[in-house]
Amino acid sequence: MARILVTPRSLTKGGDPSLDLLKKAGHQLVFCTPGKSPDEQELRGLVPGCAGWLAGVEKITDVVLAAADCLKVISRNGTGVDSIDLAACERRGISVLRAEGANARGVAELTIALMLSLLRSVSYGDARLKAGGWERRQGTELEGRTLGVIGTGRIGKLVTKFALGMDMRVLGHDAFPDACYAPSPEFRYVTLEELLASSDIVTLHCPHTPGQRPLIDGPALARMKKGAVLINTARGGLVEDAALLAVLQDGRLAGYGVDAYEKEPPDPSPLLSHDRVIATPHVGAFTAESVSRATRVAVDNLLNALSSAK
């Protein structure tokens, strides 16, 4: 029997049937504060004695790992691992596993939802009407518009599929483009510079390494079309917030949809309160279906890894 730390907010608050597989295998589950992303201090108190860790998006630092006296494997219930100190894991012989593609559909659908909501000013109109007003912003239809997809992994490809189905053109950019990927004559790979200059909507589906400069900084925003929309359901560090606020305030950018933040929950800010910003609390993968798929893959990864480590 092994102790397994469980920290994803969706699991500590609501649980999941897949967790029963760990119990049936004889493992003991250790939970952090329900529904809350644990901080470094809480993790340092929980991780000693745990051989496995079913992890969410919380930061897993070298300081935390130093307290992990028998940890063999960290299994993410998602794809991103930029919140984990991978070098520290490697030094300590801790495997890091991912639930590849399990939450792709949920994130892709939220991306489309944010895109449509921004182009039709849904949240703006809703807020004004509920306040007793009657203010309308003229919307934009998607047919014939160009979507720029930065990162064409599973999420980016699903977003591309949805956009093509709505009669859009799609430009893709990826550090490692898939030469076999050609879903339509209306799709092509381009340089980042061309994508930014030619797209009516730009959506981010790529990783970000902590400490790296934001991909969408002041110069990148200056290359974008006047009146374009930016969507970020990937990582908060990909976008330079101060530069983005400036282009929203002067009207060069028409809107921003965001579901990922460097700090969660984020502090109140002029950017998040701007009326051309739609901000959601990291809910891209927070659907019943995505949580179930990701949890099952993460649990299977844990069981296999712990069995192999015996």
Beta strands 201-204 and 228-232 are parallel
Residue tagged active-site, from 40, 100, 186, 264? 264
Joined tokens for residue 205? 């589906």
Residue tagged active-site, from 173, 282, 293, 296? 282
* 105 Cβ contact list (under 8 Å, min separation 6): 158, 287, 289, 290
100, 96, 46: which is closest to 75 by C-alpha?
A: 96
Please indicate whether residue 188 is annotated as part of the active site.
Answer: no
259, 14, 18: which is closest to 117 by C-alpha?
A: 259
Distance CA 282, CA 261 (A): 8
Question: What is the amino acid identity at position 114?
Answer: L
For residue 190, give Cα distances in angstroms to 163, 172, 193, 194.
17, 6, 8, 6
Could you give the residue ranges of the DSSP H alpha helices within the chain? 9-14, 19-24, 40-46, 62-66, 86-92, 104-119, 122-130, 154-165, 192-198, 218-223, 241-249, 288-308
Please indicate whether residue 282 is annotated as part of the active site.
Answer: yes
The answer to whether residues 167 and 143 touch, using CB atoms and an 8 Å cutoff, is yes
Residue tagged active-site, from 173, 235, 293, 296? 235
Please indicate whether residue 235 is annotated as part of the active site.
Answer: yes
Dump the DSSP string for 86-121: HHHHHHHT-EEE--TTTTHHHHHHHHHHHHHHHHTT
Q: Which residues are catalytic?
A: 235, 264, 282
